[in-house]
Structure 1
């Protein structure tokens, strides 16, 4: 099935075709791919160069070119929990223990591999997944995946204010009553280790909102919202507060839980293909986290 985008110029003094496409979420790479790899850019059903001067009511048809196939990327038939699907994107409920994007060492079972397998089973082998919101391997929850580069480009232009990501985390320790809601505003940078991050004055701006939902002796259930997107941000910020996540082997303490107790349970964003229609998606926390919290509460009672 061929992906096709249709736009109508509504400006009285519009820019040239290339500038118009860039403004409407088509990246330079996508435009070049359409021009050179079996795509189409038509204005009023005629091929036009990107230097073409547009006019009011011009109709633009954009057909993305074929994307270069990554020969090292293999489709997988492992399970894929689809929460929402449209013509241009998927939202996946990723389990803990699964990479969002394959690495050099693990390239057969990531979300990207599973989406490729899903496309193949639907007889859509020309589609290529573009991960918009990735999660750490041992973080569970909602992952947004574009079906084409246009989706990735348009989603990347949505502001952090309008694109809401919320998480549930189970952390060590309790919060004082005047600290039950707060904003962690602490820059994060790379530490001496290749993977590990830390709060440092030389780091990049990082902000996380949090709210304590429930707490028992020695543990708290917290809701968090990312206002920036730094690597390991929630894990580093909670350690910085003195409340490391249960199961976090890099930033936490040994507690017997097998992965960081962190789940992206909520996504909300304006759909860039549906006249900015607001999309809200919410899932339950996975069984391992709900069992952990139940066990903690029972032990404290």
Structure 2
């Protein structure tokens, strides 16, 4: 049971936390400008800044007071009796599972399988390099940002190193010439089998799974996943072939031994942080299923 004063304070704190990330993006969008690093979480992922700003307590929490009446109109919320005349508002777990059961099941399989594997830390962010390999032939992503080593230098790095990307949604953006160079062949069908907890993109995608599970997953967990994805995105692009020094990002030079060591250290730290978030999402899935009507268990 969450008294009105408390859920109002939490909602306000959440909106301020979100604004810290979204204010610049919304201003740029209004002016028609783009940022090659920070815009990604709002353009690649389908959760809008407005959706992100909505505060959700998560399944199993009853919001008391008249201030929750608007939330009662949102999808997957319902009025519940709480022993008072006014009652309260809570996530409709049965309704959520009826609509999202398949997605919940897949999220559990994927996150559980990933959490059980050892982290592989030898990819060095080469997926971004493979996305512009032989870019003269195939076209270049982020065309507003130059390649740090030029086209020929970028191609040489790709050809000299062992590419082992296990993440399908990174691999699918490889240029046609780069795909045969990858030691693995990720597919959507093999996603549960292939994703592993050292992968930057698998760990960024915790944000995706958290927002897909909204409102059964609460906004505190969602924003913790978003914050991790934000910091991973920065490493991902600092280790990329793009020259982002004009945007304030010093490169992680993965073409050099010292740069690869720097990348692996950061990747390991992110992997450990992501595993904690992965376990928190799985624990909330347990809670959701525990709150489901007995006929669904």
Same topology, TM > 0.5: no
Higher relative contact order (CA 8 A, sep 6+): 2
TM-score, with length taken from structure 2: 0.25
Decide which structure has greater strand share: 1
Decide which structure has greater helix share: 2
